Chain A
């Protein structure tokens, strides 16, 4: 069970004032939330690395959280930003295959999670762009394999990845 929005917001507010105990609990809960957040949109072996990157970003940018506003949409915006950045940098790693989603489907957290999820962000892309980003950047296929699987030409795959990532970067906050 991951802490809810109100609890995380309260912990973050305390952390901004220097409360280390609250901060430890918050980061622990945040890392669980982030692991689930990234689970379906990253090869399994890359999830922990990205979770750590986001935890560092939360730490470095903690002053930018406004205590009067919800915490999870703030964290999700940072997580999306880091994820898009990661997709731009990621290289093909055949051994890292995406594992099936095994998270439990429970409670109100799912509603909040769905609203800020990466799937929702992906939903704003044209199908052809989303498909090839998924194939190349997330599942680790080569451009040629993605072209065969998607029925697009290799140059179309490259163009659609480029355009798709550009669009993702532009709608990080807006897509909900």
Chain B
């Protein structure tokens, strides 16, 4: 064997210290904790929408938040898995979950077009509630984004582009769920556009900004 290899092996062995291994359930627990903390912060700052929690909201409220939750956890579990790479791993889950969530803006657009849009000012850009919800959803996702980013940095992601995208999608979706629990506007237009927007925006940011910080 090459003497340089032997020397390196000796040095690395000398430097060896015990490490805490990155277990999937630890990563998942961290993501869940970040979500719970985000919900508590939203509850403290804005208060939760009691009618929604009591089952009195429109079906769109529950459908949208359930889809966002599914996308969020699909993205988060993908990120957690990507930190421990393995030939044979596949990361298709978030793609399918995002396709399912895509139904909401499509439904909102169809509704908007069918009804002429005039009666649905809340869905039109410029409405302060709309932007408030999108921005608040993103703000509520920052803790999750930070936690997942830190997990990836500690791990060894070998597909930084996909890891960044899934990180952004997970953080955007879980943040939107957290903030969404405080939002009393439960129409398909508002939810389909403005509660899904954080997923798109964080997803793009994750795809195009995060990879440079995830390469190792």
Contact = CB atoms under 8 A, between A and B. Distances in A.
A43 to B, nearest CB: 15
B5 A63 contact: no
Interface string A58-91: 0111111111011001101110110000000000
A28 B87 contact: no
A111 B216 CA distance: 29
B21 A16 contact: yes
A74 B84 contact: yes
Nearest to B9: A27
Question: A interface, by DSSP: helix, strand, loop or mixed?
Answer: helix
A28 B89 CA distance: 26
Q: Assign chain A's interface to a size class.
A: 35 or more
Nearest to B14: A20
Given A18-B16, A63-B154, A69 B84 contact: yes
A64 B156 CA distance: 6
Given A27-B12, A59-B15, A64 B22 contact: yes
Q: Interface residues of B toward A: which range?
A: 35 or more
Residue from B12, B15, B216 with most neighbouring chain A CB atoms (10 Å): B12
Given A27-B13, A31-B9, A170 B161 contact: yes
A121 B45 CA distance: 50
Contacts of B23: 66
Interface stretch (A48-56, A141-149, A151-159): A48-56
A23 B5 contact: no
B86 interface: yes
Contacts of B15: 59
Contacts of B22: 63-64, 66
A78 B158 contact: yes
A73 B156 contact: no
B51 interface: no
Given A52-B8, A63-B20, A78-B158, 6 more contacts: A20-B16, A64-B22, A64-B156, A73-B88, A169-B161, A170-B161
